[in-house]
């Protein structure tokens, strides 16, 4: 009997024993190809010796120093690294231990920013349906994932939700991609006017949706329009890149491909690639100086913020990616994976959509390709695919989200950036067979 309170206590999980490259092995020696990166975390795969060396060196130096007493060199160096490569306005980095913490920090910072400016009514947030910003109670309230929210209602705040810009389901027949993007971005203006712009502090969204729908990028022009609307009404734009950031879509920051700069950008997962828990919030100089020149103190903090070993690990991860030009690999291998998925599954009558960016690829399964009718939710197809894939030695990240009240079955692939031709073949072969078996 286990004494661990597993989040799904009925699930029988194998015991992870070791990892090597893109593979994890359980205690029976069974091999699993990590095509999900856990949950888009393990971008270097497992047991990277450069990262291990950097962590050991840091532990031998100083393993923990509280941020209330000391700064530390890896934290300073990591902040430099992130800022030098970030959109021009993002100049300050606030470190935390994970994605939800980074989102909580962003929500609180947005509120404090307006408080310092004397705009005390600006307390509300707007976000998008089908979004996930974390599981802590504030981040949960800011997200639009009904399934995760329902058990905890009423949440601490109510957040108006706009469309997620999901081309496959929302673009009207005959509408151009551009018009579609402008139309759905316009929902932000409508939501602002309904809420009263003077009551809103920020709009939060994922530049490429991850955990609820599986790698859904917005269409061209959408984010430029979002930025314009935020500027017009004096609202901050928070980009949640916890899942899609740190190179996963082929650029270090996903917003680079949208040619917009958010006021706050949060990241986690791939930042430390699973070697240590870490998250970060990048902040514009304008917000930072408003706080410094106002009360002088951000009323927020966590015990492990800027943990020296976590920062040393993340710095080693990010240097490894850069030194080995892994962002080029993400773009190249991502295109190869998308092509292989399309050729293996493109004609499957239950595969509605295959989309994504870089090594962040998603598939939506449907009951009927013509009508886009979702699969019957009671069949729990996504869960069956996960189990069958694990049995076949493949980790993929399936999800049953809610699309305007309807369930939808999606599969997310987010393999390590180090995958080769053989790994792509193995992913597509195994996933193709599993999908044929479960829904075919």
- What's the rounded Cα separation, in Å, for the pair 339 and 414? 15
Q: Which stretch binds ligand PMP (CB under 6 A): 29-37, 206-214, 318-326, 335-343?
A: 206-214
Q: Is 268 in the site for ligand PMP (CB under 6 A)?
A: yes
When binding is defined by CB under 6 A, the residue of 159, 211, 315, 317 that contacts ligand PMP is 211
Q: Is 242 in the site for ligand PMP (CB under 6 A)?
A: yes
Nearer to ligand PMP by Cβ, of 87 and 272: the residue is: 272
Binding mask 87-126 for ligand PMP (x = CB under 6 A): -----------xxx--x-----------------------
Binding mask 124-143 for ligand PMP (x = CB under 6 A): --------xxx---------
Size of the site for ligand PMP (CB under 6 A): 15
The least CB distance from residue 35 to ligand PMP, in Å, is 16
Nearer to ligand PMP by Cβ, of 99 and 262: the residue is: 99
Nearer to ligand PMP by Cβ, of 39 and 62: the residue is: 39
The least CB distance from residue 330 to ligand PMP, in Å, is 18
When binding is defined by CB under 6 A, the residue of 206, 353, 364, 426 that contacts ligand PMP is 206
Q: What is the 3-state secondary structure (H, E, C) of the chain?
A: CCCCCCCCCCCCCCCEEEEEECEEEECCCCEEEECCHHHHCCCCCECCHHHHHHHHHHHHHCCCCCCCCCCCHHHHHHHHHHHHCCCCCEEEEEEECCHHHHHHHHHHHHHHHHHHCCCCCCCEEEEECCCCCCCCHHHHHHCCCHHHHHHHCCCCCCCCEECCCCHHHHCCCCCCHHHHHHHHHHHHHHHHHHHCHHHEEEEEECCEECCCCCCEECCCCHHHHHHHHHHHHCCEEEEECCCCCCCCCCCCCHHHHHCCCCCEEEECHHHCCCCCCCEEEEEEHHHHHHHHHCCCCCCCCCCCCCCHHHHHHHHHHHHHHHHCCHHHHHHHHHHHHHHHHHHHHCCCCCEEEEEEECCEEEEEEEEECCCCEECCHHHCHHHHHHHHHHHCCEECEEEEEEECCEEEEEEEECCCCCCCHHHHHHHHHHHHHHHHHHHC
When binding is defined by CB under 6 A, the residue of 167, 240, 263, 353 that contacts ligand PMP is 240
The least CB distance from residue 41 to ligand PMP, in Å, is 8
Binding mask 298-337 for ligand PMP (x = CB under 6 A): ----------------------------------------
Q: Is 270 in the site for ligand PMP (CB under 6 A)?
A: no
Nearer to ligand PMP by Cβ, of 142 and 438: the residue is: 142
Q: Is 42 in the site for ligand PMP (CB under 6 A)?
A: no
Q: Is 413 in the site for ligand PMP (CB under 6 A)?
A: no
Nearer to ligand PMP by Cβ, of 162 and 366: the residue is: 162
The least CB distance from residue 347 to ligand PMP, in Å, is 31
Q: Is 385 in the site for ligand PMP (CB under 6 A)?
A: no
Residues that bind ligand PMP (CB under 6 A): 39, 98-100, 103, 132-134, 206, 210-211, 240, 242-243, 268
């Amino acid at each position: 009997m286990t004494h661990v309170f597993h989040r799904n206590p009925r699930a029988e999980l194998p015991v992870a024993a070791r990892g090597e490259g893109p593979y994890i092995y359980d205690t029976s020696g069974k091999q699993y190809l990590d095509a999900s990166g856990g949950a888009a975390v393990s971008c270097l795969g497992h047991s990277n010796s450069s990262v291990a060396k950097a962590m050991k060196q840091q532990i031998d130096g100083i393993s923990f120093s509280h941020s209330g007493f000391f700064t530390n060199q890896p934290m300073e160096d990591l902040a430099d690294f992130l800022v030098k490569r970030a959109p021009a306005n993002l100049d300050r980095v606030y470190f935390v231990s994970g994605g939800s913490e980074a989102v909580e920090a962003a929500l609180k910072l947005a509120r404090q920013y307006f408080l310092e400016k004397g705009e005390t009514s600006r307390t509300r947030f707007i976000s998008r349906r089908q979004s996930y910003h974390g599981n802590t109670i504030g981040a949960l309230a800011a997200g639009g994932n009904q399934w995760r929210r329902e058990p905890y209602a009423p949440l601490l705040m109510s957040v108006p939700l706009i469309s997620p810009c999901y081309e496959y389901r929302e673009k009207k027949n005959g509408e151009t991609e551009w018009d579609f993007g402008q139309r759905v971005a316009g929902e932000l203006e409508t939501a602002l006017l309904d809420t009263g712009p003077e009551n809103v502090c920020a709009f939060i969204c994922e530049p490429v949706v991850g955990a609820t729908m599986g790698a859904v990028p917005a269409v061209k022009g959408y984010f430029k329009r979002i930025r314009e609307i935020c500027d017009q009404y004096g609202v901050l734009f928070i980009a949640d890149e916890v899942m899609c950031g740190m190179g996963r879509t082929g650029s270090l920051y996903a917003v680079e491909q949208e040619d917009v700069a958010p006021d706050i950008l949060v990241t986690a997962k791939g930042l430390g690639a699973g070697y240590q828990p870490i998250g970060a919030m990048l902040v514009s100089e304008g917000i930072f100086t408003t706080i410094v020149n106002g009360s002088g103190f951000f009323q927020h903090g966590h015990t492990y913020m800027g943990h020296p070993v976590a920062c040393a690990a993340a710095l080693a991860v990010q240097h490894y990616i850069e030194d080995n030009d892994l962002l080029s690999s993400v773009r190249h291998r991502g295109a190869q994976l998308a092509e292989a998925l399309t050729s293996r599954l493109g004609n499957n009558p239950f595969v509605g959509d295959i989309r994504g960016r870089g090594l962040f690829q998603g598939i939506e399964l449907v009951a009927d390709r013509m009508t886009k009718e979702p699969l019957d939710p009671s069949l729990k197809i996504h869960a069956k695919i996960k189990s069958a894939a694990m049995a076949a030695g493949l980790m993929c990240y399936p999800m049953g989200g809610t699309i305007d009240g309807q369930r939808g079955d999606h599969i997310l692939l987010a393999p390590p950036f180090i995958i080769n031709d053989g790994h792509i073949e193995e992913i597509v072969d195994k996933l193709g067979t599993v999908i044929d078996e479960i829904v075919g």
